[in-house]
Amino acid sequence: MNKFDLTSKIEKFAPLDTQEKWDCSGWLVCTKNIDVKKVMLALTITDDVVNQARANNCDMIISHHPLFCVPIEYSDIDMYCAHTNMDKAQGGTTDTLLDKLGLSSTETTEEFVRIVKLDTPMSVEDFADKLKTVSPNLRYINNQNRENIQTIGFCAGSGSDLLPYCEVDAFVTGDLKYHFAVETNTVIYDIGHFESEILILPIFKNILGIDVIFADEKCPFIYKK
């Protein structure tokens, strides 16, 4: 298969020119090879993922997360990523999370946060239980001891910096920082960076329309039960 045909499919779904200025979506490594026989999909490219790709005779890795510095030892395998452009795309990262939860957005902010307005208010605790269906390692902040929520912002990955740009009762994201958590008056659910984004890999497969190999990945944190 022609590797440029594959990446064109991704770019049609999530145009590169929509990525954030600081992002590094697109080709990370582009070898002289045009045809690829096996593709591995990964959330994050690591040494382990590269070794998995080589062990499975993959000649291309497509990831969600970019590499801002590409090790020279990776130069023998094609690597491509779709990051914030995939976050912003309709049907992309955050939309996939909403779909998994059986929710749909009513609004999208300029900063690509998806806003959901529940038909009826839900208790903070009940909504936490709903989120635990996709993230058993959920944690949340409720500094104002709020009882119910109805309007909720969603941003998969690390999106707490976008909270000031939307007026919501609650916000769902990952990688919440301590001082932000201490100071916020909004109910914030931290479902984890990994858990909020790993759901996008089957979407990549659907876009490509080919058989792929999924990297064996897991959240790097160990949670003591």
CB atoms within 10 A of CB 88: 19
Which pLDDT score, from 0 to 100, does residue 194 have? 96
The 10s digit of each residue's pLDDT in 191-202 is 999 999 999 999
Are 26 and 54 in a shared domain?
yes
**81, 102: one domain:** no
d(CA 146, CA 127): 12
Does residue 28 sit in the same domain as residue 62?
yes
User: What are the angstrom distances between the C-alpha of 163 and each of 17, 114, 171, 188, 222?
Assistant: 24, 11, 7, 9, 28
From the list 114, 85, 93, 111, the residue with the least C-alpha distance to 165 is 111
Residues 49 and 102 in one domain: no
Give the pLDDT score at 106.
87
- Weakly modelled stretches of the chain, pLDDT under 70: none
Structural domains of the chain, count: 2
- pLDDT for 20: 94
